[in-house]
Structure formats: structure tokens, C-alpha cells
């Protein structure tokens, strides 16, 4: 593999400058046949296209100019291009352009789905698939970190699969990637994958400024997110909604982490975590160390590949019986859903309840049928009745 640039990410600035000078104008349809949309995220959409003359299929990432800064687009494109030679990182064709309304770049088409799409909510995916995926993503992240860069958006939606058993996976979406050591003062809202030190600089609803000191972007942010992703794909649940004291699931975990490890008994382990073997708990303890300085590197997972992560006897039973405060709509850990930024201090269940009440008040009918957007897993919709004290509301709540 050809080594490009220094390990401090300095080549990126040069690449961005050169690309800014050479980026051409063209309209998508003049050069590509658009087959269909294959994905959509917060910042743009991804189109399956074929090149009009050569017929090559590609995944074209298209970002509206109205909501995308040119510098942001250049950074995403140049970082992706810089890293795309790794076998577990999505490949690039070196094609970037702007149309009247969009900035675009062409990526290798990954024909499978993303990792999120194969996770069975409340169940996860088989441990053997998890381990294959974990090994490949740790290698991709080590590569990124060795180039002085941090991905900053490690989540199942950004892990693309060539097959549903995770034999070959690729990390994508460098839209938030930055050079190590970049200082940020705040982020808007929180995600379940965000480390405690990142949540500390999150601006929530109605907040105008954060009180925490500015944060240096470090690879330890990816290590934390990677730990959360492993939890999610092994269980089909988020471990918490956000790393803040107001989230009881996070607080329970944080309290347990600060206990003397020699002294704790089985019942001291937070219920959600009791399904894991002691070795897996040790691994999570390293990836999810509350203090970012003490957090391991992503490569720490390699030492745990030959060991069972889920307890054999009751790992799955735990999920079926709902032991450990796991509920789909009550006060409990959220079953996995495509993570959207949480900006308030309100739990998912509370949001759902308030939202339902608002609809019921605004519509003077005896029955309202609503399709809840909180969990966009539309495989199987289940009707859910929630009494809101005014009238009956029939909720089509995606429970799978």
C-alpha cells in the first residue's frame, strides 16, 4: 500500500486547496444515468448511477449547496480519497464536481445494505458476524488514526456490507472527519454514540452556550463510538440515549465503572450488561473508559476475538423476557433505531407521550392513527394503544 502524507493529517489541507482550484461544473444527468436513490443521511443523499459513456456503476454522494459549505464538502471528499485505499474503507473514483445546486463525488458502489439494516432490534446480529465486522472496522479505524485523522461518526448506518454475514464490510461517510487535535467549542445535540466528553460540549434545546471547556478531537472519540456500536449490534439496543447524568442508563453504567472491580458482585452489574461474559465486560471497560485518557485504542478488541462475548446460557433469554428494564416504549433503553440527533433533555418515551398528546388535542376525533417516525424500521408495523387520558390513540409503532 502506498503511504500518503504525514501522520498529522497535513496533506489534507493541500489536497483541499488543489481540489478547490480544479473542481469542475457539470450537471449530473448529462454525464450519469440515475438509477435510484440508495441512501439518505443528514447531509445528503446517495444515488446509484451509471456513467453515460462507460456504463460503470457508482454511488454518487450528492449534497445540496444550500446546506453544505464548500470547505466541508472539500474536506469530506479529500479525507475520503486519502483513506480510500484501505480494503475496509469505501473506495473513491477521484471524481468530484459541482452542479448548479449540488456538490457531488463518486464512490465505489457497495452492493449490500448498511449494518443498521441487518440488525434485528432487541436481538442484534450473530456474534460470529459481529466479530468479523469488529475486526475489519478496527483495522479501518487504526488506519484512519495512523494518518492523524478521526472519523467522528462511527455508527451502524455508516458501515456498509458486501454480504449480510459481514464477511466484507466498509466504513463510509467522512462528513464529520477531522484532523486530530482540532478544537471544537460545541456540537449541536447528542447521539447515543457520542462519548461523555463530547456530550459535555453538546448544545441542547434552548441552550445558547456550553459551559464545558473546548474539546480537542482525538481518536478516543472513535474508540467510544466503536464500543457503543459493538453493544448495539450484539444486543439490538442502545445502551443509553446520551452520556449525561440525566440518562439513568448511562449513570448506572458510569457508577458501575467507578466501583472497585475486585469488590463488585453480579447484582452490581447494570442489568443491560449482565448478558455479557466477564471477558467481554473487560473489553467494554477498555473501549468505554469514562476518562478519555485511560480509554484503549480501537485495536484492543483484537485480544478478545477467541472469547465468547455473550453468555451462552441466558444471553438471548434476557432479551426475550425483557429482564433488565428493557421495554419498547416504557422508561427503558431504546431499541435500536437510526440515530438522529437528540437536542432536548427528554427521553424517547416522554417525547412519544407528549407528541401523542399534542396530536390528540389538536385533532378532535375519537381515534387517530399515527405512524411514529422515532423508529423508522418499517419491516413490521404493530398497532399500539396508548391511553393519554383524553381519547384512545392508535399508534402504528414500529416495534421490530
One residue of 114, 173, 218, 247 binding Mg ion per CB under 5 A: 173
Binding segment for ligand ATP among 5-13, 77-85, 104-112, 180-188 (CB under 6 A)? 104-112
What grid cell was written down for 395? 399508534
Letters for 228-257 (x = contact with ligand ATP by CB under 6 A, - = none) are: ------------------------------
Binding segment for Mg ion among 89-97, 170-178, 212-220, 354-362 (CB under 5 A)? 170-178
Pairing of strands 187-188, 202-203: parallel
Does an H or E element contain 371, and which?
A: strand 368-371
Is residue 114 part of the annotated active site? The answer reads: no
Nearest distance from C-beta of residue 230 to ligand ATP, angstroms = 18
DSSP 332: S
Consult the annotation and say whether 131 binds a ligand.
no
Nearest distance from C-beta of residue 277 to ligand ATP, angstroms = 31
Binding segment for ligand ATP among 66-74, 154-162, 236-244, 376-384 (CB under 6 A)? 154-162
The CA distances from residue 130 to 121, 282, 373, in Å, are 15, 17, 27
Which is catalytic among the residues 153, 222, 247, 334? 153
For ligand ATP, the binding residues in 28-87 under the rule CB under 6 A are 38-44, 46, 59, 61
DSSP 97: E
Q: 342 pairs with which residues across the strands?
A: 190
DSSP states along 220-280: HHHHHHHHHHHHHHHHSB-S-S-SSTT-HHHHHHHHHHTS-TTT--GGGS-GGGTTB-HHH
Q: Give which of 96, 97, 99 is closest to 79, Cα–Cα.
A: 96
| Residue closer to ligand ATP, measured from CB, 172 or 230 | 172
Active site residues: 153
For the annotated binding site for ATP, the residues are 61
Q: Footprint of ligand ATP on this chain (CB under 6 A)?
A: 38-44, 46, 59, 61, 90, 107-110, 114, 153, 157-158, 160, 172-173, 175
For the annotated binding site, the residues are 61
Amino acid at each position: 500500500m502506498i503511504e500518503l502524507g504525514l501522520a498529522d493529517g497535513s496533506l489534507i489541507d493541500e489536497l483541499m486547496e488543489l481540489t478547490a482550484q480544479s473542481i469542475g461544473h457539470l450537471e449530473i444527468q448529462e454525464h450519469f444515468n440515475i438509477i435510484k436513490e440508495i441512501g439518505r443521511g443528514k447531509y445528503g443523499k446517495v444515488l446509484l448511477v451509471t456513467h453515460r459513456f462507460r456504463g460503470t456503476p457508482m454511488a454518487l454522494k450528492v449534497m445540496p449547496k444550500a446546506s453544505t459549505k464548500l470547505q466541508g464538502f472539500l474536506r469530506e471528499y479529500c479525507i475520503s480519497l486519502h483513506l480510500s485505499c484501505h480494503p475496509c474503507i469505501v473506495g473513491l473514483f477521484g471524481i468530484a464536481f459541482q452542479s448548479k445546486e449540488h456538490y457531488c463525488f463518486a464512490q465505489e458502489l457497495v452492493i449490500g445494505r448498511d449494518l443498521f439494516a441487518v440488525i434485528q432490534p432487541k436481538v442484534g446480529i450473530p456474534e460470529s458476524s459481529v466479530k468479523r465486522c469488529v475486526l475489519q472496522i478496527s483495522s479501518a479505524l487504526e488506519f484512519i488514526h495512523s494518518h492523524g485523522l478521526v472519523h467522528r461518526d462511527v455508527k451502524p448506518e455508516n458501515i456498509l456490507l458486501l454480504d449480510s454475514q459481514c464477511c466484507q464490510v466498509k466504513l463510509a461517510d467522512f462528513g464529520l472527519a477531522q484532523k486530530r487535535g482540532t478544537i471544537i467549542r460545541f456540537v449541536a445535540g447528542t447521539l447515543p454514540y457520542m462519548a461523555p466528553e463530547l456530550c459535555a460540549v453538546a448544545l441542547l434545546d434552548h441552550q445558547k452556550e456550553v459551559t464545558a471547556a473546548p474539546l480537542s478531537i482525538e481518536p478516543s472519540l472513535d474508540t467510544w463510538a466503536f464500543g457503543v456500536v459493538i453493544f448495539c449490534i450484539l444486543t439490538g439496543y442502545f445502551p443509553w440515549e446520551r452520556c449525561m447524568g440525566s440518562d439513568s442508563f448511562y449513570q448506572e453504567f458510569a457508577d458501575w465503572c467507578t466501583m472497585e472491580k475486585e469488590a463488585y458482585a453480579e447484582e452490581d452489574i447494570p442489568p443491560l450488561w449482565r448478558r455479557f461474559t466477564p471477558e467481554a465486560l473487560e473489553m467494554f471497560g477498555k473501549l468505554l473508559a469514562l476518562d478519555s485518557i485511560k480509554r484503549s485504542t480501537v485495536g484492543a478488541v483484537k485480544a478478545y476475538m477467541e472469547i465468547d462475548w455473550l453468555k451462552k446460557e441466558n444471553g438471548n433469554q434476557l432479551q426475550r423476557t425483557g429482564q433488565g428494564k428493557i421495554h419498547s416504549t416504557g422508561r427503558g433503553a431504546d431499541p435500536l433505531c437510526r440515530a438522529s440527533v437528540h437536542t432536548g433533555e427528554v427521553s424517547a418515551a416522554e417525547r412519544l407521550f407528549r407528541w401523542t398528546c399534542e396530536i390528540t388535542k389538536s385533532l378532535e376525533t375519537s381515534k387517530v392513527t399515527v405512524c411514529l417516525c422515532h423508529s423508522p424500521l418499517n419491516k413490521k408495523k404493530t398497532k399500539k394503544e396508548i391511553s393519554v387520558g383524553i381519547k384512545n390513540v392508535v399508534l402504528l409503532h414500529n416495534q421490530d
